[in-house]
A and B are shown apart, each in its own frame.
Chain A
């Protein structure tokens, strides 16, 4: 059974006024336990609005969000529960740090869950270890950390709630290649070791191609594609028409195909590209 299910979700901003606009329109979505769903779309495509329904921060104008089959908007209690079961980490999360110490900041979520003190302590330390923050940093002020450390401390603050579904909005935005790598590795390891479901919103097709198992494409407030990463990037030309990027490898193979080179086009990482090209030349693909 899907852990999270979205049925016919529509969200209107400024409903019943002249400025009424649909931020999300008729979206159906099923998120299976343990999968890593990549969400792709332009700024303003509705993806940020969509994910804020997962933990009941926003209430749908029409439609439902079901967590384990139960509507998250049943009552106040269920909404509050959804906050903790679906951990949502916003874009540039380092701007939400506020406590005196990194430790206190990471414990803000668990403390709001009213957990016992030793449980909070365990969670803070586990989360800090996951994001690779050294114990010695925990007693520092979050404002004294470097940019990358701040980002990781903020992500740890959401992980420490130990949500069943971790939703990350653009966790690598503004980072250099090293920082990006580090965050992606961290997400992969977190999913492997905790078995959590992860939703990753990203502009970077290369990132989605690297880590996601399934992908959802949002365009003009609608969910226009859903499927495995391979299935989605195989429709690279449609993505390009929507003005979205596709991974460079996909673009290269689409272009080759157009020039009459009989290559496969469901390629989205450099490694797959190498294999596909070697196969074309009749050579053994590398293991």
Chain B
């Protein structure tokens, strides 16, 4: 897989009245690969949201550089080209919808790109279908649920034909049902349309679904690896204030009591492992 976004020795300090304000990000080196599903974990204040904002030139590094394909985010002339490739879905579903009707909102991005009307129409319909919101195309956004609003926001990005979508804690403010909907949408876009997904989150269950997980702590990258690698590192989780997904915690408790179990992360894996252990012990 080739690199899509590359962060090279990136540091970022927010402007502040206090001259000694701590850096929000310190010397971060990271590659986002084309077509991957990358989760970024970390507690509040770990720098994960700052990281997200550096990826599409909302922020420009104080030191180091961020390269999207061949474009430096510090190059003001490239900002527009970067943003049509790297879209972003924000945390608060209400604060990113601009129009009073769903389909008009989805059209907003393509309209800004100056596309001809028929082409916008096609893209809008396609985008709404791909997030399963086509039936709501004439609805008023404020009457939708949180999960539906976020899917409209996703459609608005897809309609620009971006290669990569960053979800900046996009599931933090919506209920579990909405969260499932958004997560399913992310996975489908990644799998079926090959869109690169960067998912900033503090829900372990979302990180478990990713190809790779980045753990941020105190403005630096604390670990990068597959979900299995990251969650198997107990010391890392404790140090960075993360918790083990519930299924993994259960399996670990049983393992601690001396029953040999493989390392599991998801509910499905846990059920499989426990079933096998039970059969082996001859209680089934």
Q: Does the CB pair A259–B275 fall under 8 Å? A: yes
Within 8 A of B (CB), among A41-67: 42-44
> Which residues of chain B come closer than 8 Å to A277, judged between CB atoms?
254, 259, 274, 278
| Interface range on chain A (Cβ under 8 Å from partner) | 35 or more
Asked if A248 meets B245 with Cβ closer than 8 Å, knowing A260-B284, A261-B274, A274-B257, the reply is: yes
* B284 (CB) vs chain A CBs: closest residue: A261
Q: How far is the CA of A146 from the CA of B46 in the complex (A)?
A: 13
Inter-subunit contact B241/A176 (CB<8 Å):
yes
Are B281 and A281 interface neighbours, CB within 8 A? yes
CA distance A1 to B145 in the complex (A): 39
A283 and B43 contact, Cβ closer than 8 Å, known pairs A177-B202, A270-B249: no
Contact flags (1/0) for B251-284 with A, using CB distance below 8 Å?
0011001110000000100110011011001011
The reply on A249 being an interface residue by CB < 8 A is yes
* Bound form: Cα–Cα A44–B178 in Å: 12
Complex contacts, B254 vs chain A, CB 8 Å:
273-274, 277-278
Instruction: Using known A-B contacts A42-B175, A176-B43, A280-B283, determine if residue A252 contacts B247 with beta carbons closer than 8 Å.
Output: yes
* A-B Cβ contacts below 8 A, count: 106
Q: Does B188 contact A (CB under 8 A)?
A: no
Q: Could you say which of A177, A203, A251, A271 contacts B175, with CB atoms under 8 Å apart?
A: A203
Bitwise interface map of B from 239 to 253 toward A, beta carbon under 8 Å scored 1, else 0: 001110111011001
Number of interface residues of B (CB under 8 A): 38
- Per DSSP, chain A at the interface is loop
Interface string of A139-173 (1 = CB under 8 A from B): 00000001110000000000000000000000001
B177 within 8 A of A: yes
Q: Within the assembled complex, what's the spacing in Å between the Cα atoms of A260 and B284?
A: 7
Provide the residues of chain A in CB contact with B245, threshold 8 Å. Answer: 248
In the bound complex, how far is the Cα of B246 from the Cα of A245, in angstroms?
A: 13
Answer whether A249 and B246 are a contact pair too, CB < 8 Å, given A277-B254, A281-B283: yes
Question: Does the CB pair B250–A248 fall under 8 Å?
Answer: yes
Instruction: Give bound CA distance, A174 to B173, whole Å.
Output: 6
- Taking a contact as CB atoms under 8 Å apart, the answer to whether A273 and B175 are in contact is no
* A177:B43 contact, CB within 8 angstroms: yes
- Determine if A2 is an interface residue (Cβ-Cβ < 8 Å): no
Task: Report B35-62 residues with CB < 8 Å from chain A CB.
Answer: 42-45
Please pick, from A178, A245, A282, the residue contacting B241 in the complex, using a CB distance under 8 A: A178
Q: Is the CB of A286 within 8 A of B271?
A: no
B267/A255 in contact, CB under 8 A? yes
- Residue-wise interface mask of A (242-256) relative to B, using a CB-CB cutoff of 8 A (1 in contact, 0 not): 011101110110011
Query: Within 8 Å CB of B22, what residues of A?
Result: none
Within 8 A of A (CB), among B166-209: 172-173, 175-178, 202, 204
Which one of A148, A204, A248 has the highest number of Cβ atoms from chain B below 10 Å of its Cβ?
A248
> Do B45 and A174 touch (CB < 8 A)?
no
Contacts of B249 in A (CB 8 A): 270
Tell me, in angstroms, the Cα distance from A174 to B271 when the chains sit together. Answer: 29
Q: In the complex, what distance in Å separates the CA atom of A58 from the CA atom of B187?
A: 42
Cα of A246 to Cα of B249 in the assembled complex, Å: 16
**A179 beta carbon closer than 8 Å to chain B:** yes
B8 vs chain A, min Cβ distance (A): 28
- Cβ contacts under 8 Å, A251 to chain B: 267
CB-based contact B246/A248 at 8 Å: yes
B146 CB within 8 Å of chain A: yes
Chain A residues positioned under 8 Å from B278 (CB to CB) = 256, 261, 263, 277, 280-281
Cβ of B37 to closest chain A Cβ, rounded Å: 21
Report yes or no: B172 in contact with A248, Cβ–Cβ below 8 A.
no
Contact indicator A278/B241 (Cβ below 8 Å): no
Q: Are B177 and A256 in contact (CB under 8 A)?
A: no
Bound-state CA distance A144–B250 (Å) is: 40
Interface residues of A (CB under 8 A from B): 42-44, 146-148, 173-179, 203-204, 206, 243-245, 247-249, 251-252, 255-256, 259-263, 270-271, 273-274, 277-278, 280-283, 286
8 A-B contact pairs sorted by A residue (CB < 8 Å)? A176-B43, A176-B44, A177-B204, A248-B270, A249-B246, A259-B275, A270-B250, A273-B250
